[in-house]
Amino acid sequence: MILFPAIDLKNGQCVRLEQGDMARATVFNLDPAAQAASFAAQGFEYLHVVDLDGAFAGKPMNAHAVEAMLKAVTMPVQLGGGIRDLKTIEAWFDKGITRVIIGTAAVRDPELVKGAAKTFPGRVAVGLDARDGKVAVEGWAETSHVTALEIAQRFEDAGVAAIIFTDIARDGLLKGLNLDATTALADRISIPVIASGGFASIDDVKALLQPRAKKLAGAIVGRALYDGRLDPAAALQLIRGA
């Protein structure tokens, strides 16, 4: 079980959104590299980064901030947002990103995911962000007509490293992870699933360690860390003890 601290980038700053709404952004740190270093010092082992501007623009928009973070930490970094072609994927790997997360392109161009996963085994994840069960794309600005399960099943034998499943309705609202929907997805596919959206407290860590969540590979935590609602040391101790 990996706990991924999240850094969401908007205009080069570290922010958190509510339900994916760019108009409801709270700036938590003007220096994303310093924030990444802080998470490393707290004992986290894998960083989750999203280029929010890139998700809307369809191309990387916060490259300088990402590159600064890669220089600041030695832990692996997974990155999503604006990754829509093989050239961008290769460029990020060349810069030191460990794993890319493909969201919109996974819905619109599944062959890109399959090709990238084959070329870079274990380094391509799919981000499935669901609103009322349907997957949202273009930085969550549009909702598609397909379910997370339908898309996940397209990649069953493609060599995808993980599915990151986000419940948009809970994202940034500290309502707790939607483990019902996340474990239901994990039970239907063989690809490891990472839970995202709504992480609120140590209770979520305890829930992740229950038998029903045994198929989950990890969870992403954002606002609860920034707000001080989750003690990193206590959370990581609990996970390592399990």
Annotated catalytic residue, options 8, 53, 171, 204: 8
Annotated catalytic residue, options 51, 53, 129, 167: 129
Contacts 24+ apart (CB under 8 A), 128-131: 128/103, 128/152, 128/163, 128/164, 128/165, 128/166, 129/20, 129/103, 129/165, 129/166, 129/168, 129/197, 130/165, 130/166, 130/167, 130/168, 130/181, 131/168, 131/169
Please indicate whether residue 8 is annotated as part of the active site.
Answer: yes
d(CA 79, CA 62): 11
DSSP 1: -
d(CA 109, CA 129): 16
Q: List helix spans (H) across the chain.
A: 32-41, 52-57, 63-72, 86-95, 104-108, 110-119, 148-154, 179-186, 202-208, 223-226, 232-241
Q: Quick one: residue 61, left, alpha or beta (phi over 0 = left, psi -120 to 50 = alpha)?
A: alpha
Task: Enumerate the active-site residues.
Answer: 8, 129
